[in-house]
A and B are shown apart, each in its own frame.
Chain A
Amino acid sequence: MSRSPHPSKEIEAAVRHAEARGWTVRKGRGHCWGILRCPMNDAECRCGEFCQTSVWSTPRVPENEARKIRRVVDGCVHAGTGRR
């Protein structure tokens, strides 16, 4: 996948975790580094608004941002099992 890595190692690891489970990254603009999109992204999806989750380039606490990315992905019923 040709995208630049996120400047934060923890967030980059969380994004790769998302990608391994079928989520895709759309490049963002401004303060938004990118938008993570659920594999199904349909109206029935339990993720709700978090079906597309924005990732800041410079969040206040990168560790928190990384954790939330993982939580959304791990809670998504449509995500593949992927590698853990």
Chain B
Amino acid sequence: MDVSMREPGGAEHGAEGMPTWNFVLKFRLPDPAADPADLLDALYAAGCDDATVGVGRRGSIALDFSRQAPTPDRAVRSALEDVRRAIPGVVPTEAAPDMVNLSDLADLVGCTRQNMRKYAAGEIRAVRSPFPEPAHSGTPSLWRLAEVLAWLDRNTDLRPDPAALQLAQAVSAINLDVQRARLDGSMAG
């Protein structure tokens, strides 16, 4: 199985040994009316030349990173540091991929949506444990990518790249911090 190595969620193993981690970080800008394009040079100077930057929403900015680092945790955290250095007061709002729907899961894992739906619905018999519960049940339901990759590894022939699982875990950890900070912020007076 191949969490596509060069897409967000994937990790590439370079010839030199240092892997490349692919993930997206989204931020709220301190000034809601700010044009994110004005911040590009500062981001470049801070080391974000390994990210493609989305500047289509005022007050917001998104960076699609392909970052070389020994671990995914270092990759994601160094990326956050670079953006914070470039844009004082910037607030991370989301890291991806983490919360994913059935179609996203199928794409990331490289199987059909129908197959993934069957796994999720418990219609594939020869498994050792039940499919993970969605993180959010609804229309659509959303799953934590790290949980599904771990489950696939233990219960199916689809063997996720261990690096992809590590990356999903690192991205999910960032999101937990971000969500906690957002909740705390909403409760502050």
Contact = CB atoms under 8 A, between A and B. Distances in A.
Pair from one complex: yes
A15 interface: no
Nearest to B57: A49
B56 A50 contact: yes
Contact of B37 (A32, A48, A71): A32
Interface string B38-50: 0011001000011
B53 interface: yes
B55 A30 contact: no
B123 to A, nearest CB: 29
B118 to A, nearest CB: 25
B56 A64 contact: no
B151 to A, nearest CB: 26
A31 B64 CA distance: 17
A38 B56 contact: yes
Given A49-B61, A64-B50, A64-B66, A30 B56 contact: no
Interface string B58-98: 00111010100000000000000000000000000000000
A61 interface: yes
A38 B40 CA distance: 19
Contacts, number: 82
A49 B61 CA distance: 6
B54 interface: yes
B7 interface: yes
Nearest to A55: B52
Indicate the member of A49, A51, A52, A69 with the most B CB atoms within 10 Å. A49
Contacts of B53: 53-54
Contacts of A35: 37, 55
B66 A71 contact: no
Contacts of A37: 56
B6 interface: yes
Contacts of B52: 53-56, 59, 64-65, 68-69, 72
Q: Which 10 A-B pairs have the closest CB atoms?
A: A49-B54, A51-B56, A52-B56, A49-B62, A50-B54, A31-B44, A68-B52, A30-B41, A60-B50, A64-B66
Interface of A: 28, 30-32, 35, 37-38, 41, 45, 47-56, 58-61, 64-65, 67-69, 71-72
